[in-house]
A = this chain, B = another copy of it.
Amino acid sequence: MRILVVNDDGYFAPGIRHLAKVASKFGEVFVVAPDAPRSGQGHAVTLVTPLRLHELGTEEGIHYYSCNGTPADCVKLAVKVVFGGDHPDYLFSGINHGSNASSNIVYSGTVAGLIEGALAGVPSVAFSLMDHSLQADFEPVLDYVEEVIRKCIETGRKDICWSVNFPKLPKTALKGIKVCRVAKAYWDEDAVERVDPAGRKYYWLEGDFIRKDDAPDTDLAYTDQGYVSLTPLHFDWTDYAEMERLKGLF
């Protein structure tokens, strides 16, 4: 069994090393990950500059590669170059340093890696820990990662596309897994103005996360309460209810 592991924080991030190690209990693991952080790169692909892929070596049986592209590029290059055109049996993305709950999925490179796998028909799972720090403690969540990977494999389904979020809590405080939906929210970015030494203005985006959903059955609500959230995703973005309404309009 061949498993592709990707992320958006870079091949050197502790999160991907932990995920690769857990995944290696189930098969031969190939890490193909960005050579620098690519958070917030969404589903970007690199079409106008050349891509590089570096084989970094094998550690504890895990094969490491770095790529100068985005998470989606990593998946595409892995399939064609590392696996010689065959698809891996499973794709796992993460463990991300930071939340991918709620509307973060739109911007997330971790989730883009997940969806890139699922688009190609590979059963795929993304994992994210709600702690941005490079020193984040992943130990509390590793048993859950293993449980989710085991169930992903045991179900035997090809259409798996799950996003898992872990609250930042000690292991004893984690209450179990809740399957749930994505909460409605959005990032209301402020544009913080600065002036460079030449007197020219520039801006930093600085976000306020605005919740628009207080229902109890969402990834935000469950992680707030200490649960691990598991949200199955899909990539048919058609709004079917609106489609029916519009058929009378056009």
Contacts and interface: CB of A to CB of B under 8 A. Distances in A.
A239 B232 contact: yes
Total identical chains: 2
Interface stretch (A12-20, A56-64, A89-97, A99-107): A99-107
B45 A42 contact: yes
Given A119-B186, A200-B52, A42 B72 contact: yes
B119 A191 contact: no
Contacts of A44: 40-42, 44, 107
A202 B51 CA distance: 6
Interface string A153-169: 00100010110000000
A123 to B, nearest CB: 12
A73 B204 CA distance: 10
A50 interface: yes
Given A204-B50, A250-B230, A243 B180 contact: yes
Interface string A233-250: 111111110110011011
Contacts of A46: 40, 205
B106 A115 contact: yes
Contacts of A187: 119
B230 A52 contact: no
A122 to B, nearest CB: 11
B230 A155 contact: no
Nearest to A246: B179
